[in-house]
Structure 1
Amino acid sequence: MDTLTALTHRVSVPRLTEPGPTPDQLRQLLAAAIRAPDHGMLRPWRFIVLQGEQRERLADVMEWRLLKRQPDADPNARENLRGKALRAPTVIVAVAEITENHKIPAWEQVLAVGAAVQNIMVAAHALGLGAMWRTGDLANDPDVKPRLGFADKDQVVGFVYLGTPAVEPKSLPDETPDQFLRELPRG
C-alpha cells in the first residue's frame, strides 16, 4: 500500500482479535513511530509493548485504579475493566518522557509522541493490521504513571490496541479538505 493510500484510508478499528502483529511487524511499527517529527531531537517517546499474558499487568493497573477510587466496586465492574486491557492481542502504551526546563515546551514533546502514535496507526493500516488509539481517565491519572514506570512530569499519550479486525471496519464520511479550511481574519 502506498503512503497516500494508507493516510487517506486509515480508520480506527475498535474490535480486534488474534493474530496480533508479528515480531517483524511490531519492529516496523516502532521504526515508523520513532521517525515522527521531533522539535529539538529530544526523542521523548517511550513505549511499553504488552502481548499475551503481559496484558494482565495493565489489567492489574486498571483494577488497582478502580479500587482506589471505588473500594467497594463489584466483581463485574472489576472484571469488565480488566477486560479492557485484553481487548486486543497487543497493546502499546505510548508515553511522553518530558525533558523539563528545556527550550522545547512540554506540550511540543507530547505532540511529538502523538505524531509517533499516528505513525503507528498509519503503519498498522498499511500492514493490514487493525488499530485503535485510546486514552481516557487512566492516561491522565498521576497515580498511574509510577505504576507504568514513569514520573509525574511524564504524560501517557495513549494506549494503542493492535490486532486483526474482528469485523469489517467502518468507512469514514466522504469529506473534502476544503470543509476544514478557514480564512485568517483581517485586522
Structure 2
Amino acid sequence: MNVKNEAVVDFLKTRRSTPVLKLSEPGPGRAELEEILTIAARVPDHGKLAPWRFIVYAGDARAEVGEALEAITRSDNPDASDARLKLERERLTRAPIVVGVISRAAVHPKIPEWEQIMSSAAACYNLVAAANAFGYGATWLTEWYAFDERSLPALGVEPGERVVGLVHIGTRTEEPFERVRPELSDVVTWRGEL
C-alpha cells in the first residue's frame, strides 16, 4: 500500500518562485549549496550522461559578469541611459548566489539531444525546489545574455554549451505572491478509464 508523504505533497503544492528583486543576503554557504546542488543533480538522465553542469557565481564574480554585460549593452547602444547600464551591471548581483545550469547536450548514438536538454531543465527545477526546501527563495531566469554569444565567455560557458537557466538564490525579503495556475481541465487529456 502506498503512503502519501503529506509534508512533501504540501511543499510541492505551495512551492513558488521568488522574484529576483525580493532576494537578499544571506544566501547558502558552500556546504549548504553543495547539498542543494547534489539534490539538483538527481534528475532523469537517460544514459547517465550528465549532459549539464553547474557554474556558481558568488562574490565578486557576479559583478565581473555584470561589467561584461554592461560593455555589450554600451557597444550595442552607445546612448544607453545610466539606469539601463546599471541594470545590466547588476544582473547577477541581485541575489547573493546565482547558479548557471549549462547544457552540454550533444549528438549521441542512443540518447536524443532533446532528452539531454530536458534533463538540464529538470536540474533547473530541482535546484529551485531544493533551495526552497532549505528555506531560501529562488527563481529560474533566462534573460537576453543567456542567448547572446558575446556574453557566454564572461559567464564561463564553453563552445557548444548553452545556458538553460540562471537560478538566483537568497533570503526572501517578503513572501512571493501566488499566481494563477492552469485549470486541470485546460491542460489534461484523459484517455482510458481509471
Confirm or deny a common fold (TM above 0.5): yes
Q: Give the corresponding residue for 1:94.
A: 101
1:124 pairs with 131, 143, 150, which one?
A: 131
Matches within 5 A, 1:26-37: 26-37=33-44
Identity of aligned residues (%): 35
Q: Give the corresponding residue for 1:8.
A: 13
2:50 pairs with 43, 61, 71, which one?
A: 43
The one-character-per-residue Cα deviations of 1:78-134 (angstroms, maximum 9, x if unpaired) are 112112211111111110012334432322212111101111111111111100110
User: Which has the larger displacement, 58-67 or 37-46?
Assistant: 58-67
One-letter identity of the residue aligned with 1:90: I
Deviation for aligned residue 1:40: 1.5
Matches within 5 A, 1:37-116: 37-116=44-123
CA contact (8 A) 2:100 2:163 kept: yes
Q: Give the corresponding residue for 1:142.
A: 149
1:19 pairs with 13, 19, 26, which one?
A: 26
2:173 pairs with 166, 169, 173, which one?
A: 166
CA contact (8 A) 1:17 1:165 kept: yes
CA–CA separation in structure 1 for the residues paired with 2:60 and 2:162: 25
User: Which has the larger displacement, 100-109 or 30-39?
Assistant: 100-109
One-letter identity of the residue aligned with 2:96: P
- Inter-CA distance 86–43: structure 2 relative to 1 (3 Å threshold): same
CA–CA separation in structure 2 for the residues paired with 1:173 and 1:110: 27
Unaligned 5+ residue runs, structure 2? Answer: 1-5
Unaligned 5+ residue runs, structure 1? Answer: none
CA RMSD of aligned residues (A): 2.1
Count residues in correspondence.
Answer: 184
User: Which has the larger displacement, 166-175 or 6-15?
Assistant: 166-175
CA contact (8 A) 1:142 1:152 kept: no
User: Which has the larger displacement, 86-95 or 47-56?
Assistant: 47-56
One-letter identity of the residue aligned with 1:93: G
The one-character-per-residue Cα deviations of 1:128-148 (angstroms, maximum 9, x if unpaired) are 110011002211122222333
Structure 1: which 4+ aligned runs deviate by more than 4 Å? none
- Inter-CA distance 22–70: structure 2 relative to 1 (3 Å threshold): same
CA contact (8 A) 2:147 2:163 kept: yes
One-letter identity of the residue aligned with 2:112: P
- Inter-CA distance 174–149: structure 2 relative to 1 (3 Å threshold): closer
CA contact (8 A) 1:18 1:163 kept: yes
